[in-house]
């Protein structure tokens, strides 16, 4: 005998989508915020989408942008990470070359520099050295079509946009803004991954040394060695005398169970106010930040190797041309099919890879 339920008579039931919006977990993007803050840029994705006179209708409940609750770095200290901010609109050319002096360490003993009476002083000159790095401007765009491996637009039907629960323009604007900021974040992290030196946990000298999970965790002792290496290399500090240690959540967890870190770490409430939950503590000359977008790779034993960084001011370069913008395609089927993507003319570079020191640990 049949039982009356939804399966027996689906015609008597229907579903309604609420206009309430749940929160989607999303990492913070500190390096994107530093980059954009240094250049004074943002992507205005909250405007009308489409060609003038043929924009998407502004109907439906509001759709909260993806950057709600994201880390916003209003403090100028961490913006010191950007060594040079180049406005390509103010000059001709696609590439800017930036010079950096090279100082030779020679002999500095008293006897080597003493010039005695009657001594013939050399007339053979020595040269002054200099280094140069390039910053090149390119046009970037998104989102990305993973099926066809290329940047591609979002397609939105104007007719159906009138009938949705949430505002279609805000839905796609939120997606565009998140994709734009995540691209900038991961571009800068890929540059930090080019560091010239790496500090490993005690007993570990290479990624493949870890053969079991948790064999080489992050400890305060590792941070103190990184601090020593940074001082020996004369790496600059921020104006408050600290450098930045960007660590993965796993590395933070490894540190937090280290009794030495627990005793030595200081918590400055003003940094928590400025940087939110990303700021953890200050210890061993570093402001320690949790960054959930850092690179993690598996070694030959399938052990996760987490790639944190010591970052000094002047590490990265940033350039801009045309400002970030949301652009519609002119082929919009008489305004019925809106195609939109973000475009931006940006330059990414690393001023000096010695200013970034890798902090590896196994998990």
pLDDT grade for 74, boundaries at 50, 70 and 90: very low
Report, as an integer, the average pLDDT of 151-155: 92
Rounded to 5 degrees, φ, ψ at 217 are: -80, 165
Tokens at 318, concatenated? 């940033």
Radius of gyration of the chain (CA): 27
- Work out how many domains the chain is built from and give that number: 2
- Report how far Cα 309 is from the mean position of its chain's Cα atoms: 12
204 and 280 inside one domain: yes
H, E, C per residue of 192-230? HCCCCEEECCCCCCCHHHCCCCCCCCCCHHHHHHHHHHH
When mean pLDDT is compared across 54-68, 78-92, 229-243, the lowest value belongs to: 54-68
Which residues contact residue 207 at a Cβ distance below 8 angstroms, ignoring those fewer than 6 apart? 297, 299, 305, 360
**CB-based contact 189:29 (threshold 8 Å):** no
Residue 69: pLDDT above 50?
no
Between residues 11 and 115, the one the model is more confident about: 115
In percent, the amount of the chain with pLDDT more than 70 equals 83
Distance, in Å, from the CA atom of 350 to the CA atom of 194, rounded to the nearest integer, reads: 9
Answer yes or no: is 127 within a domain.
Answer: no
When mean pLDDT is compared across 67-76, 119-128, 275-284, the lowest value belongs to: 67-76
Query: What pLDDT does residue 27 have?
Result: 81
Residue 276: pLDDT above 70?
no
Distance, in Å, from the CA atom of 244 to the CA atom of 237, rounded to the nearest integer, reads: 9
331 and 305 inside one domain: no
pTM, full prediction = 0.85
Distance, in Å, from the CA atom of 66 to the CA atom of 173, rounded to the nearest integer, reads: 9
Mean pLDDT, the chain, rounded, equals 85
Which among 81-85, 87-91, 321-325, 357-361 has the top mean pLDDT?
A: 357-361
309 and 322 inside one domain: no
Answer yes or no: is 139 within a domain.
Answer: yes
Report, as an integer, the average pLDDT of 36-47: 81
Distance, in Å, from the CA atom of 233 to the CA atom of 198, rounded to the nearest integer, reads: 13
Answer yes or no: is 252 within a domain.
Answer: yes
138 and 55 inside one domain: yes
**CB-based contact 36:42 (threshold 8 Å):** yes
- From residue 100, how far is each of 38, 96, 165, 188 by CA, in Å? 21, 13, 56, 21
Query: What pLDDT does residue 165 have?
Result: 65
Rounded to 5 degrees, φ, ψ at 313 are: -60, 145
Tokens at 278, concatenated? 């990303």
244 and 290 inside one domain: yes
Report, as an integer, the average pLDDT of 308-330: 92
310 and 333 inside one domain: no
CATH classification at residue 256: 3.30.1930
Answer yes or no: is 258 within a domain.
Answer: yes
Residue 149: pLDDT above 90?
yes
Residue 148: pLDDT above 60?
yes
Q: Which residue has the tokens 């977008």?
A: 293
Residue 243: pLDDT above 90?
yes
**CB-based contact 217:363 (threshold 8 Å):** yes
pLDDT grade for 39, boundaries at 50, 70 and 90: confident
Query: What pLDDT does residue 239 have?
Result: 84
- Cis before residue 143, ω within 30 degrees of 0? yes
Q: Which domain holds residue 164?
A: 26-93+133-190+318-350
Answer yes or no: is 331 within a domain.
Answer: yes
Q: Which residue has the tokens 């880390």?
A: 71
44 and 86 inside one domain: yes
- From residue 255, how far is each of 148, 219, 238, 264, 285 by CA, in Å? 42, 5, 23, 11, 15
CB-CB neighbours of 330 under 10 Å: 8
60 and 158 inside one domain: yes
356 and 265 inside one domain: yes
């Amino acid at each position: 005998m049949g039982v009356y339920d939804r399966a027996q008579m689906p015609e008597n039931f229907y579903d309604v989508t609420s206009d309430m919006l749940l929160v989607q977990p999303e990492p913070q993007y500190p390096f994107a915020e530093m980059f954009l803050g240094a250049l004074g840029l943002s992507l205005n994705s909250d405007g009308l989408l489409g060609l003038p006179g043929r924009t998407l209708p502004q109907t439906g409940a509001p759709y909260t942008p993806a950057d709600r609750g994201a880390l916003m770095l209003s403090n100028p200290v961490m913006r010191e990470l950007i060594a040079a901010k180049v406005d390509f609109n103010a000059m001709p050319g696609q590439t800017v070359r930036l010079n950096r002096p090279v100082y030779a360490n020679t002999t500095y003993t008293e006897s080597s520099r003493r010039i005695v009476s009657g001594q013939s002083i050399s007339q053979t000159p020595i040269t002054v050295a200099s280094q140069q790095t390039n910053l090149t401007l390119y046009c970037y765009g998104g989102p990305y079509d993973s099926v066809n491996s290329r940047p591609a637009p979002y397609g939105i039907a104007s007719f159906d946009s009138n009938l949705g629960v949430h505002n279609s323009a805000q839905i796609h604007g939120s997606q565009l803004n998140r994709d734009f900021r995540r691209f900038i974040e991961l571009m800068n992290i890929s540059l930090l991954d080019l560091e010239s030196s790496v500090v490993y946990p005690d007993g570990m000298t290479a990624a493949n040394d870890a053969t079991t999970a948790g064999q080489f965790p992050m400890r305060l002792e590792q941070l103190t060695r990184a601090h020593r290496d940074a001082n020996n290399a004369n790496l600059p500090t921020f104006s408050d005398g600290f450098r930045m240690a960007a660590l993965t959540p796993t590395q933070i967890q490894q540190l937090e169970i280290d009794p030495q870190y627990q005793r030595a770490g200081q918590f400055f409430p003003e940094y928590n106010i400025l940087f939110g939950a990303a700021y953890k503590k200050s210890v061993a000359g570093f402001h320690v930040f949790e960054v959930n977008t850092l690179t993690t790779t598996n070694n030959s034993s399938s052990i996760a190797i987490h790639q944190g960084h010591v970052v000094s001011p002047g590490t990265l370069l940033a350039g801009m041309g045309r400002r970030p913008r949301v652009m519609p395609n002119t082929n919009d089927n008489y305004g019925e099919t809106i195609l939109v993507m973000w475009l931006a003319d940006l330059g990414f570079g690393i001023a000096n890879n010695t200013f970034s020191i890798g902090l590896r640990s196994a998990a």
